[in-house]
Structure 1
Amino acid sequence: MALATAAGTRPPLREVAGVPLPATTVDNWSQIQGFEAQPDDLLICTYPKSGTTWIQEIVDMIEQGGDVERCQRVTIQHRHPFLDWARPPQPSGSTYLQRPVLSTHSEGVDRAAAMPSPRVLRTHLPTQLLPPSFWENNCKFLYVARNAKDCMVSYFHFQRMNQTLPDPGTWEEYFETSVSGKVAWGSWFEHVKGWWEIRKKFQVLFLFYEDIKRNPKQEIQKVMQFMGKNLDGPVLDRIVQETSFEKMKANPMTNHSSAPKWILDQSISPFMRKGTVGDWKNHFTVAQKERFDEIYKQKMEGTSIHFCTEL
């Protein structure tokens, strides 16, 4: 089922089991579902705009033992294959995605399959849509959750500049689209609840964006232990420093500055915009806040998860 776009010029979303997804992802659904996970895979799982690039850089820095030069070997989008990604039709001569891939293939799955073990992969998929082989192989999952209000604001600006997703329209329009879960990868509520509920049944390290912001060293240590790595204090301090928002925003290997305008138009909004906690206050009206809080209460009833919305 196709979902209408606000502008009509960008590709519409389509649905799999009631979850809206980019059309190219749906076109490659059987290949994504058939993906063969391996027992030593680490899958980074996030709802969009919850700190995906941030946790990727943290994981890579740990993997490379804090070696900054090794982390500059290639841009972040090419280090950890994005399983959901199938490229949109591209203008001739574009090099951002490096090599021609048949339109019937998920580039993320192809890249992952070609990668030596142990692999670090990533996805935005909710638990119910994850390829079954991840559960069957008891893989490790690293989930980062961000408070719903800041996530919505960040996603709004991301959709404004991301030419592969529907135009979000005005903030007022987007607010309605978002609370009804009609955005790519579906409802924030369902996504976060799904991962929270399975966190003790599988090897899941569940982190909060706000905690990483508040105490990066402590949270990075958790990731390091989860990955089975043991790095000394000075290396850990370097990782904290190198993965700060300011460093990553200025780093061409992490800020997606090499992305062409037909994918990410950073003249509209930068890929790495603010990276703060509490920016929602600059967007939500009083009426929107009250309405959102009511919806949040209903949707999250019965769950023990607790978010911080300001630091």
Structure 2
Amino acid sequence: MSENQTVMPRALLVPVKGILLPDHIAKDLDAVSAFCPHPSDILIAAFPKSGSTWTAEIVDQLLHNGDVESCRRAPITVRTAFLEASNRLRTKSGLHQLKEMAPPRVIKTHLPIQMVPVGFWEKKCKTIYVARNAKDTVVSFYHFHHMNLASPEPGPWESFVHKFMHGELAWGYWHDHVKGFWEEQEKRDILYLFYEDMKENPRREVERIMKYLDLSLSDDDIGHIVELTTFKNMKENPMTNFSFFPPEIYNQSISKFMRKGEVGDWKNHFTPEQSAAFDEDYEKKMKQANIPFKTEL
């Protein structure tokens, strides 16, 4: 970062209905809660760093039949509205952006299910949830905190893992987040995806998304979308790699927004002792959930 660039003050976390949120997001949550979607809107929900950008790009590609030019018409943050985003890090808040977009709109959120505006359920909007295993999520979230200079100070790895386990990071407990959408998936007609499945068999998962959205694309178009949305291609694509964000906010010389995208990278970060303690805590919080996460492929 050059000397004449403004240093972005890091966000503070404040509790809202028992969930910690960045202060600039928390202040507008009442307006977010009152948001009324169009029935054709598509909601993509996820805990941070679990694959929401990837899923949003796949959805946008499907809506445009895998047309490269259509999907490079603007950065992913313009094509997809981040529902609860404030105008602190962007030129427009998510709500402002949505007012200017014509349905069907692709809308992203990190809010836990109890904070999702009820309008999404009342209008029976298509909702896709993507979940990533806890260990890889905390690793990715840790690196994101370092490169996102507007996020709360991450502190050392050991304390960051502790905060993750105890719901002391933005958007609360990962455990409650993934369980909340899992338990409501049938009642709310939510398509529940796993990051690991998307890595293991991307074509199968793209086809699942297509069918859920009541779309029909040719085999060639599907194959094209699978290729365009590989981690390598998205990392190189200036419309998806967040290189359009100013470095005083996302300093990608510290860590790339799209860093590795691997399953099992947690093994390079957890000590055996940390892994054992994390696993013990995980079993307590997730023992009744029966959510089939994979921590390696």
CA distance in 2, matches of 1:84, 1:14: 15
Offset at 1:203?
1.8
Question: Any conservation in 2 of the 1:14–1:23 contact (CA below 8 Å)?
Answer: yes
Identify the residue that residue 72 of structure 2 maps to in structure 1. Answer: 72
Identify the residue that residue 49 of structure 2 maps to in structure 1. Answer: 49
Gaps of 5+ in 2: 1-8
Offset at 1:262?
2.2
Matched, 1:237 2:232: no
Counterpart of 1:69 in 2: which secondary structure? helix
Identify the residue that residue 113 of structure 1 maps to in structure 2. Answer: 99
Matched, 1:269 2:259: no
CA distance in 1, matches of 2:176, 2:134: 11
Counterpart of 2:153 in 1: which secondary structure? coil
Offset at 1:114?
2.2
For 1:264-303, what aligned pairs fall within 5 Å after superposition? 264-303=250-289
Offset at 1:112?
1.2
The farther-off stretch of 290-299 and 109-118 is 109-118
CA distance in 1, matches of 2:24, 2:54: 25
CA distance in 2, matches of 1:55, 1:151: 16
For 1:1-20, what aligned pairs fall within 5 Å after superposition? 10-20=10-20
CA distance in 1, matches of 2:243, 2:177: 29
Offset at 1:269?
0.6
Give, as a single letter, the amino acid of the residue that structure 2 aligns with 1:86. Answer: S
Give, as a single letter, the amino acid of the residue that structure 2 aligns with 1:54. Answer: W
Question: Any conservation in 2 of the 1:13–1:165 contact (CA below 8 Å)?
Answer: no
Identify the residue that residue 27 of structure 1 maps to in structure 2. Answer: 27
Identify the residue that residue 125 of structure 2 maps to in structure 1. Answer: 139
CA distance in 2, matches of 1:50, 1:38: 26
CA distance in 1, matches of 2:57, 2:21: 25
Question: Any conservation in 1 of the 2:14–2:20 contact (CA below 8 Å)?
Answer: yes
Identify the residue that residue 155 of structure 1 maps to in structure 2. Answer: 141
Offset at 1:117?
1.3
Offset at 1:113?
2.3
Give, as a single letter, the amino acid of the residue that structure 2 aligns with 1:160. Answer: H
Counterpart of 2:59 in 1: which secondary structure? helix
Alignment equivalent of 1:211, drawn from 197, 211, 215: 197
TM-score, normalised with respect to structure 2: 0.95
CA distance in 2, matches of 1:87, 1:161: 19
**Share of identical aligned residues, percent?**
46
Question: Any conservation in 2 of the 1:248–1:255 contact (CA below 8 Å)?
Answer: yes
CA distance in 2, matches of 1:118, 1:267: 36
CA distance in 2, matches of 1:139, 1:41: 6
Question: Any conservation in 1 of the 2:41–2:106 contact (CA below 8 Å)?
Answer: yes
Identify the residue that residue 81 of structure 2 maps to in structure 1. Answer: 81
Runs of 4+ in 1 over 3 A off after TM superposition: none
Question: Any conservation in 1 of the 2:11–2:24 contact (CA below 8 Å)?
Answer: no
TM-score, normalised with respect to structure 1: 0.91
Matched, 1:129 2:129: no
Question: Any conservation in 2 of the 1:44–1:123 contact (CA below 8 Å)?
Answer: yes
